[in-house]
Structure 1
Amino acid sequence: MVSRFAQWTLDVRNPTRMAAFWSAALGYEIDADGEHLRPPRDAPPGSLTVWLQPTAEIKQDKNRTHPDLYAPAGDVSGEVDRLLTLGAIRTDIGQTGDEGFTVLADPEGNEFCLIHHPWHRT
C-alpha cells in the first residue's frame, strides 16, 4: 500500500480573495468555511480538494513546489488571458520561452504553471 495525495494546501494571507481566485481558476466550489475548495460534482474521481490555510506570513521566496494546470486544448493564450483577468500575474523565474508552459502567480504571488500540451498520463 502507498500514500495518495489528499489535497493541495496553500498558505494564504487573505482566504476570501484567494478562494475567489482559485475557485474561478479551477472551476471549484467554495465550502461554507471559505477556506476549502471542492471539485465540481462532475470532476474526475481523485480530483484534489484545496485548503487555503490562513497565515500571517508574507510569501518571500520562490515556491519550492507549485501546481501545474492544463490549458484547454487549443486555447493557451485565451486561458492565460482569463487567469490574468482573474488576478494572476506573469512571473519570470528564468524561463526561456521554449518550456511548453507559462509561469504565472496568484494574487499573493504563489507561482503556478499553465501547461500548454498535456503530457500522456497512465
Structure 2
Amino acid sequence: MRDSELVVDCRDPERLAAFWCAVLDFKVIDRNEGKVEIGSWVPTVEDVRARQMPPTLQFIQVPGGKTVKNRLHLDLRSIDGSTEDEVTRLLALGATTTDVGQGSDRNWVVRADPEGNEFDVLRTLAP
C-alpha cells in the first residue's frame, strides 16, 4: 500500500488546480469532466508500473462550497526564499489570510486557497 493522491472536493477543479500548480510548480497530469489531477511531473506508464510516481493532488467537482475548517491540510515550506516572500507570492496567486485560532505567537501562518481550504506556511529552510 502507498499514498497515491490527496483528493480535494471543490466547486471549480480547473481554477483550484491552476492555483496549486502555480503554488507548487506542479503540472496537470490528467483531466476529465469535473476532475483535474496535478503532480510534480507527468509519469510514464513505466514509472507508474515501477511505483516511481510521487503522490498527486486531485480536484473533484462537487456541489456546494466548503462550510467548516479542514480536517486535513497541507504544510508548505519555502526551500529557497524567505517565509515573508513566499507568503507575499501566495497572496498574489490568490491565497487569502485566514484565522483558525492559531494565535500570533506561532512561527507559521495559515492561508487559504481560492475556495477557502486552509494550508500552513512554515518557517523557511533557506539559509
TM over 0.5: yes
Contact 1:72 1:79 in 2 (8 A): no
* SS of alignment partner, residue 80 of structure 1: helix
Q: Tell me the CA shift for residue 47 of structure 1.
A: 3.2
| Cross-structure match for 1:35 | 36
Rounded to whole Å, the distance in 1 between the matches of 2:30 and 2:66 is 26
Q: Tell me the CA shift for residue 74 of structure 1.
A: 4.7
Please list every run of at least 4 consecutive aligned residues from structure 1 whose deviation after the TM superposition is greater than 6 angstroms.
Answer: none
Structure 1 portions without partners, runs of 5+: none
- Name the % identity: 37
Contact 2:16 2:114 in 1 (8 A): yes
Q: Tell me the CA shift for residue 19 of structure 1.
A: 1.0
* SS of alignment partner, residue 8 of structure 2: strand
Question: Are residues 81 and 60 of structure 1, via their aligned partners in 2, closer, same or farther at CA, if it must alter by over 3 Å?
Answer: same
Q: Summarize the alignment of residues 19-98 of structure 1 with structure 2, pairs less than 5 Å apart.
A: 19-33=17-31, 35-40=36-41, 47-98=54-105
Q: Tell me the CA shift for residue 92 of structure 1.
A: 0.7
Q: In the TM superposition, what whole-angstrom CA distance separates every residue of 1:24-74 from its partner, at most 9, and x where no partner exists?
A: 001000134160102137xxx663211001111210000111111112355
Q: Tell me the CA shift for residue 8 of structure 1.
A: 1.1
Amino acid at match of 1:94: G
Q: TM-score normalized by structure 2?
A: 0.80
| Cross-structure match for 1:101 | 108
Rounded to whole Å, the distance in 2 between the matches of 1:73 and 1:98 is 24
Contact 1:7 1:49 in 2 (8 A): yes
1:116 pairs with one of 97, 118, 123: 123
Question: Are residues 117 and 76 of structure 1, via their aligned partners in 2, closer, same or farther at CA, if it must alter by over 3 Å?
Answer: closer
